[in-house]
């Protein structure tokens, strides 16, 4: 497919972009503790610019210390930040890119440690997502913040940025004023649509005045909040022309706030790619400035179609930039098979930043956030490395080691690579997980890595052939407690069911309501089978606070599934599961019983490796069963360091 529209230039006020690809703002936590820009953030963004993207927009940058959303958010509220910001623009420009600074105030969507005190908001209504109390801003404080946005924009221009983006989306301060969901004021900044729009319109006008007539000002909006009591698309269609009149040069049309069900602002794999483009088109039809579309887009061909049909002028590829910083250049060269695709798992990026309070990365790209460290040290001479297992950790380790010059061989006991990904990709909306396995195999073939399938490694062969180094990535095997009847013919392992080794039947009972159990139930329900999940814990292990967790619960509930919590299975009889809940014995009919109750590391070769003295690393589930993120990153680290 010729991507002539995606790779055509476009002008936003005084800025000309070489293509229509945009990297939108995404929080990373790569800023320094004092809010300045350091080598880590510079290396990360410069690497994305090198990939060929037309415009890079930084992550949120606080215009006031009280507006920080997280501890390491970068700042622009004083000249103190100018040296680091200037170094950032110079690094991106050196790679041939254009860069905009996103001006941000979190409002109530933060916490005291980040804001340095009680967060401020249009009304003293705590954040739904965070539950953090906040206090109402007075008129003088509002006037001060309008000026703070303007002064921050002037600093951005001084630091060499090519544009600024005003963050008026996702439930942050400016969005909070727009929305009756968060704004219950009765003064000139609340109540009517006119009053609720005043703060944002005044801010846009002040920024325009501060930067001059030819400096690009982009406005990021949530086209629809998609929450009860919030504003809708019709409201934003009325507001958009006024944003243009106030000084906006482009509109970046996102969707939702952080308390929107399913977190559509950062949509998971459960949401259709490009789901939000129709809202961008609705805005584009009524304004005469460029509109940037966004919404789970990882496919340059989808972007090409959206631009060609007139839905948008530019496309934001968000998390795809984390997964593969070179995907734009690959697409332009027609090397689509080399693109490593984002699957919208959210594990390494937003969930890591928000729920784990750690800096962001990417599940499938271990280099994300480590660009400033440089390339690993090449091996000296000819050295052989054996990887035991083509599980995700093993594939990742082999890629990293081959990149250093090792002669790598992989030994996999199964007929297919990927380990548990082969089963994990079978539930609804998870097929794309296998894309990474296929991509890895293609890369390994280019590196001339030999993969031996159906070859179970033995201690004797390791000692006899004695490679220079070994990475043990043999994965894990399922474990179950000793429950009478668990060995019956009707009882199967979740992985065997998902890959088709056994036939599904109903009604089914799934033992364990973690992600494996929930996704297996989702799989069965999609096949028309009635399912009950039985879980020992008193609360659901998979929370509704994550996007994927929300959709799993929703599909299981709407599909007639049931989750029994605080239940201990005591025995399994033919056609029945018996369990105890609150000291009462209960029964569930079951034509099929599926176990999804954990796994144990397959590290049986560890002893032979230690006795032989062969340098080795144990990675992934062979070390301890965890998420895909830990497996891929641990394998990569082993391949880089061994």
In sequence order, the 6+-apart residues with CB closer than 8 A to the CB of 59 are 25, 26, 27, 28, 73, 74, 102
> Where are the chain's structural domains?
10-371, 379-477+601-641, 491-597
What average pLDDT does this structure show over 477-500?
91
Give, rounded to a whole angstrom, the gap between the first and last alpha carbons of the chain. Answer: 41
CATH superfamily for 10-371 is Aldolase class I (3.20.20.70)
pLDDT digits (tens, 9 = 90+) for 278-322: 999 999 999 999 999 999 999 999 999 999 999 999 999 999 999
What is the rounded CA–CA span in Å between residue 362 and residue 321?
A: 10
Check whether 158 has a pLDDT greater than 80: yes
CATH class of 379-477+601-641: alpha beta
* 172 belongs to the catalytic site: yes
Q: How confident is the model at residue 22 (pLDDT cuts 50, 70, 90)?
A: very high
Q: What is the DSSP string of 55-113?
A: EEEEEEEESSGGG-SSTT-EE-SSGGGHHHHHHHHHHHHHTT-EEEEEEE--TTSS-HH
Check whether 1 has a pLDDT greater than 80: no
Q: How confident is the model at residue 254 (pLDDT cuts 50, 70, 90)?
A: very high
What average pLDDT does this structure show over 437-460?
96
What is the rounded CA–CA span in Å between residue 536 and residue 510?
A: 12
What average pLDDT does this structure show over 573-589?
93
What average pLDDT does this structure show over 393-403?
97
Check whether 598 has a pLDDT greater than 90: no
Residue 547 is predicted with a pLDDT of: 94
Do 388 and 605 meet the contact criterion of CB atoms below 8 Å apart? yes
Check whether 129 has a pLDDT greater than 90: no
- What is the CATH code of the structural domain delimited by 491-597? 3.50.50.60
Q: How confident is the model at residue 478 (pLDDT cuts 50, 70, 90)?
A: confident
Helix axes of 193-211 and 233-246: crossing angle, nearest 10 degrees: 30
Q: Which helix (H) or strand (E) holds 149?
A: helix 139-158
Residue 481 is predicted with a pLDDT of: 85
Do 70 and 27 meet the contact criterion of CB atoms below 8 Å apart? yes
Q: Percentage of the chain with pLDDT > 90? A: 95
Q: Percentage of the chain with pLDDT > 70? A: 100
Given the residues 172, 406, 515, 579, the one annotated as active site: 172
Residue 480 is predicted with a pLDDT of: 84
What SS3 state is found at 561?
Answer: coil
Q: How confident is the model at residue 239 (pLDDT cuts 50, 70, 90)?
A: very high
In sequence order, the 6+-apart residues with CB closer than 8 A to the CB of 13 are 163, 214, 215, 216, 217, 249
Mean pLDDT of the chain: 96
Please give the torsion angle defined by the CA atoms of residues 441, 443, 449 and 450, in that order, rounded to the nearest 10 degrees: 20
The encoded tokens of residue 371 equal 């660009």
Q: How confident is the model at residue 479 (pLDDT cuts 50, 70, 90)?
A: confident
What average pLDDT does this structure show over 332-337?
96
pTM (two decimals) = 0.94
């Amino acid at each position: 497919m010729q991507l002539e529209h995606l790779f055509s230039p476009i002008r936003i006020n005084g800025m000309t972009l070489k293509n229509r690809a945009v990297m939108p703002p995404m929080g990373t936590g790569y800023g320094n503790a004092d809010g300045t820009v350091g080598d880590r953030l510079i290396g990360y963004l410069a690497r994305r610019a090198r990939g060929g993207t037309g415009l890079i927009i930084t992550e949120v940058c606080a215009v006031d210390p009280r507006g920080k959303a997280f501890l390491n958010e970068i700042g622009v509220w004083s000249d103190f930040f100018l040296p680091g910001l200037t170094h950032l623009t110079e690094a991106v420009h050196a790679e041939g890119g254009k860069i905009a600074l996103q001006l941000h105030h979190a409002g109530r969507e933060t916490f005291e440690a980040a804001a340095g005190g009680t967060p401020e908001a249009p009304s003293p209504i705590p954040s739904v997502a965070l539950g953090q109390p906040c206090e109402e801003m007075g008129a003088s404080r509002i006037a001060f913040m309008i000026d703070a946005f303007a002064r921050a924009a002037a600093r951005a221009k001084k630091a060499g940025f090519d544009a600024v983006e005003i963050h008026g989306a996702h439930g942050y301060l400016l969005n909070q004023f727009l929305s009756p969901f968060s704004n219950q004021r009765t003064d000139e900044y609340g109540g009517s649509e006119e009053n609720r729009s005043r703060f944002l319109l005044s801010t846009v006008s002040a920024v325009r005045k501060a930067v001059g007539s030819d400096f690009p000002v982009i406005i990021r909006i949530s086209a629809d909040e998609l929450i009860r009591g919030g504003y809708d698309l019709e409201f934003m269609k009325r507001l958009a022309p006024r944003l243009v009149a106030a000084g906006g040069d482009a509109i970046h049309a996102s969707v939702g706030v952080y308390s929107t069900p399913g977190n559509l602002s950062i949509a998971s794999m459960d949401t259709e790619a490009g789901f939000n483009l129709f809202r961008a088109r609705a805005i584009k039809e009524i304004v005469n400035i460029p509109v940037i579309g966004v919404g789970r887009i990882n496919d340059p061909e989808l972007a090409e179609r959206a631009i060609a049909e007139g839905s948008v002028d530019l496309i934001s590829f968000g998390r795809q930039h984390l997964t593969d910083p070179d995907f734009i250049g690959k697409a332009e060269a027609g090397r689509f098979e080399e693109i490593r695709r984002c699957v919208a798992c959210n594990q390494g990026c937003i969930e890591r930043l928000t729920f784990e309070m750690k800096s962001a990365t990417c599940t499938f790209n271990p280099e994300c956030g480590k660009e400033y460290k440089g390339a690993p040290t090449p091996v000296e001479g000819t050295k052989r490395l054996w990887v035991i297992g083509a599980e995700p950790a093993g594939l990742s380790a082999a890629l990293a080691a081959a990149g250093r010059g090792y002669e790598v061989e992989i030994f996999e006991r199964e007929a297919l690579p990927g380990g548990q990904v082969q089963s994990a990709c079978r539930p609804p909306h998870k097929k794309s997980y296998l894309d990474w396995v296929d991509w890895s195999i293609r890369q390994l073939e280019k590196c001339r890595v030999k993969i031996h399938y159906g070859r179970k490694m033995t201690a004797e062969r390791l000692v006899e052939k004695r490679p220079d180094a070994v990475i043990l990535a043999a994965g894990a095997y399922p474990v179950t407690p000793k429950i009478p009847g668990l060995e019956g013919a009707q009882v199967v392992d979740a992985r065997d069911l998902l890959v088709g080794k056994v036939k599904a039947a109903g009604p089914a009972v799934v033992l364990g309501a973690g992600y494996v159990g929930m996704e297996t139930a989702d799989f069965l329900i999609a096949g028309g089978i009635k399912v009950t999940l039985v879980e020992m814990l008193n609360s659901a292990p998979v929370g509704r606070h994550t996007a994927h967790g929300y959709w799993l619960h929703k599909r299981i509930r709407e599909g007639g599934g049931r989750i029994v919590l605080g239940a201990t299975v005591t025995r399994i009889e033919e056609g029945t599961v018996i369990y105890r809940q609150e000291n009462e014995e209960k029964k569930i009919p079951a034509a099929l019983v599926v176990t999804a109750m954990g796994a144990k590391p397959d590290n049986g070769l560890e002893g032979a490796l230690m006795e032989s003295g062969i340098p080795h690393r144990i990675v992934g589930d062979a070390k301890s069963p965890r998420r895909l993120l830990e497996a891929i990153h641990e394998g990569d680290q082993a391949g880089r360091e061994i």
